[in-house]
Chains A and B, each alone.
Chain A
Amino acid sequence: MENRPLEYDYTIAKMFMFTTIVLGIVGMLIGVILAFQLAFPGVNLILGEGLAEYTNFSRLRPLHTDAVIFGFTLSGVFATWYYVGQRVLKVSMAESKLLMVLGKAHFWLYLVVVASVVVSLLAGVTTSKEYAEFEWPIDIAVVVVWVIFGMSIFGLIGIRREKSLYISVWYYIATFLGIAMLYLFNNMEIPTMFATSAAGESGIGSWYHSVSMYSGTNDALVQWWYGHNAVAFGFTVPIVAMIYYFLPKESGQAIYSYKLSLLSFWGLMFVYLWAGGHHLLYSTVPDWMQTMGSIFSIILILPSWGSAINMLLTMKGEWQQVAASPLIKFMILASTFYMFSTLEGPIQAIKSVNAIAHFTDWIVGHVHDGVLGWVGFMIMASLYHMAPRVFKREIYSKSLMATQFWIQTLGVVLYFTSMWIAGITQGMMWRAHDEFGNLAYSFIDTVTVLHPYYAIRGVGGLLYLVGFLMFAYNIYKTMSAREVENHELQNASPMGA
């Protein structure tokens, strides 16, 4: 024992890699089903009339969003933290028994929460607030999981050998703090089981039901402050953490400007939280807040592009790597989509554009070019980079990876182009008047016209899912691929044919 050299311990990282893949498949499969339900309503009865309640669009929809956000993405965040965290702090989890126990508790409790979420959402137990659908017993469990995650982060930082914190660690800390704050405030609710009737009865009705502490407009304000920033701290901040580590590491290039990365960090932290108001334009929240939401959304382009350009410039003079390595392709496309959707978002937040875009499929398109193009690609790239290092084997197939890249890219392009057209078409039809000042279209006209776009979107989603299954297969086969020597693991990941 004494003479064995110290190594990084990837036990927990492997566990979360597993849930990233499984929950990714679940979330995306449900997404594809939902897409085809909109194009062909008969799919709602996919398992027959008897189970219609559980295969229905409206029951599955929260399951799709939550599986992708809290299943796929968060697992990816955890998996990469338990990998990157050790390496940039130069300390192994094997050095602390406590951290190992915490890590394992983190994983198993997380699984319990995932299971209870699936059951409760299928049963229709929901608070209706988007991405915060869980009722209070699950909320409490979520908080426990999150506190353990925080203890893991700060525990590892506490025993580090590297005094300064690498930029990725900054972003992981911000993820932890941001989600903690948002989740707590948005889920303030009172369980109804404590109510007592005039006759003295208590414990009336279902024990898990609760009522929001905020009402109406205030509730909406808190919800979209949460909803928008859950995107910030779930889909942006931790993914930026990943790219700041994995792109330089895989390409062997130092970050183009480390100073710019620090600056973008504070810029993003300061500006992002203000932008939530853009979800509520033309609603009943005070006017100045709506304007604030618009303005800050546009300023937000600066720190977002600061990071994205920094990543692209990191590849300066090394562009042949992009052609040669499918892994780098994934990351470069991810940062390109990041630039793209951080430009699209502010455009949609401009009041006059929002008047058309709000409530339409354009918003759905925006979310998906961010999540499929940026989040999905970056998490898959991270796992591809980690796989040879945690399994000590080369990636099973480079050509499979390249094929997957092109299939998924095509899928994303089909997805967002069809949703753009669908959204703008519908937005324009809703507001069209004829020469007498009457509405030109009934609502159903604006639905039936979308059929071809919904079908194209379904195909786009299906292609992405197929690509993801190829990814899962490639990682699975990697576990039995050729063993590699340590010196092969410096920068570019070893790949088989």
Chain B
Amino acid sequence: MDIAELQAYGYFTLTILLVVALYGYIYHLYSTKKDVDGVDYESYSDMALKDDIDDTPVSPKSDD
């Protein structure tokens, strides 16, 4: 197997992997709110809108 062939296989596998990951991500994004400990991603916008230093963080670091 020469290097060009390896290159082609490498390209193919990695592309498939990333496409699967990306679709998995879409599924995750749109299903997560129904989960038990799921998050509402849209609430993350508040990180910009409520960003004064004494505003309450959307998910405080000290939570875990």
Please tell me whether chains A and B touch each other in their complex, using a CB distance cut-off of 8 A.
yes
Contact between chains at A258 and B59 (CB < 8 Å)? no
- Considering only residues 16-35 of chain B, those with a C-beta below 8 Å from chain A are 18, 22, 25-26, 29-30
| B48 interface contact, C-beta 8 A | yes
Q: With contacts defined as CB atoms under 8 Å apart, how many contacts are there between chain A and chain B in the complex?
A: 78
Point out the residues of chain B lying under 8 angstroms from A262, CB to CB. Answer: 25, 29, 41
Point out the residues of chain B lying under 8 angstroms from A87, CB to CB. Answer: 48, 51-52
Contact between chains at B42 and A258 (CB < 8 Å)? yes
| A128 interface contact, C-beta 8 A | no
- Considering only residues 1-48 of chain A, those with a C-beta below 8 Å from chain B are 5-8
Picked from A88, A164, A259, the residue with its CB within 8 Å of the CB of B29 is A259
| B60 interface contact, C-beta 8 A | yes
Q: How far is the CA of A181 from the CA of B51 in the complex (A)?
A: 32
A163 with B60: in contact, given A6-B53, A266-B25 (CB under 8 Å)? yes
* B14 shortest CB reach to chain A, Å: 10
Point out the residues of chain A lying under 8 angstroms from B48, CB to CB. Answer: 87-88, 166, 168, 244-245, 248-249, 255
Contact between chains at B55 and A90 (CB < 8 Å)? yes
Point out the residues of chain A lying under 8 angstroms from B22, CB to CB. Answer: 263, 266-267, 270
Point out the residues of chain A lying under 8 angstroms from B51, CB to CB. Answer: 87-88, 90, 249
A162 with B42: in contact, given A88-B47, A263-B25, A270-B18 (CB under 8 Å)? no
* B47 shortest CB reach to chain A, Å: 4
Contact between chains at B45 and A162 (CB < 8 Å)? no
State the main secondary structure of chain B at its contact with A: helix
Contact between chains at B41 and A160 (CB < 8 Å)? no
Least CB separation from A168: chain B residue: B48
Contact between chains at A164 and B60 (CB < 8 Å)? no
Q: How far is the CA of A257 from the CA of B40 in the complex (A)?
A: 11
Over the window 150-168 of chain A, the binary record of Cβ atoms lying under 8 Å from chain B Cβ atoms (1 yes, 0 no) is 0000000000111110111
| A92 interface contact, C-beta 8 A | yes
Contact between chains at A258 and B58 (CB < 8 Å)? no
| B63 interface contact, C-beta 8 A | yes
Q: How far is the CA of A168 from the CA of B45 in the complex (A)?
A: 11
Q: How far is the CA of A161 from the CA of B53 in the complex (A)?
A: 9
Which of B18, B22, B44, B59 has the most chain A CB atoms inside 10 A of its CB? B44
| A452 interface contact, C-beta 8 A | no
Point out the residues of chain A lying under 8 angstroms from B45, CB to CB. Answer: 248, 254-255, 258
Point out the residues of chain A lying under 8 angstroms from B41, CB to CB. Answer: 258-259, 262
* A238 shortest CB reach to chain B, Å: 16
* B63 shortest CB reach to chain A, Å: 6
Q: How far is the CA of A164 from the CA of B52 in the complex (A)?
A: 16
Q: How far is the CA of A162 from the CA of B44 in the complex (A)?
A: 11
* B21 shortest CB reach to chain A, Å: 8
| A252 interface contact, C-beta 8 A | yes
Contact between chains at B44 and A166 (CB < 8 Å)? yes
* A87 shortest CB reach to chain B, Å: 4
Contact between chains at A248 and B49 (CB < 8 Å)? yes
- Considering only residues 75-109 of chain A, those with a C-beta below 8 Å from chain B are 87-88, 90-92
* B15 shortest CB reach to chain A, Å: 9
Least CB separation from A165: chain B residue: B47
Picked from A166, A259, A266, the residue with its CB within 8 Å of the CB of B30 is A259
Contact between chains at A162 and B29 (CB < 8 Å)? no
Q: How far is the CA of A6 from the CA of B54 in the complex (A)?
A: 8
Contact between chains at A160 and B47 (CB < 8 Å)? no
Q: How far is the CA of A303 from the CA of B52 in the complex (A)?
A: 31
Return 7 A-B CB contacts under 8 Å, by A number: A87-B48, A162-B57, A162-B58, A163-B57, A164-B58, A263-B29, A270-B22
Q: Give the 6 A-B residue pairs with the shortest CB-CB distance, closest first.
A: A254-B45, A87-B51, A166-B47, A162-B57, A163-B59, A259-B29
Q: A5-B54, A255-B45, A258-B41 are in contact. List 6 more A-B contacts (CB 8 A).
A: A87-B51, A87-B52, A88-B47, A257-B42, A259-B29, A270-B18
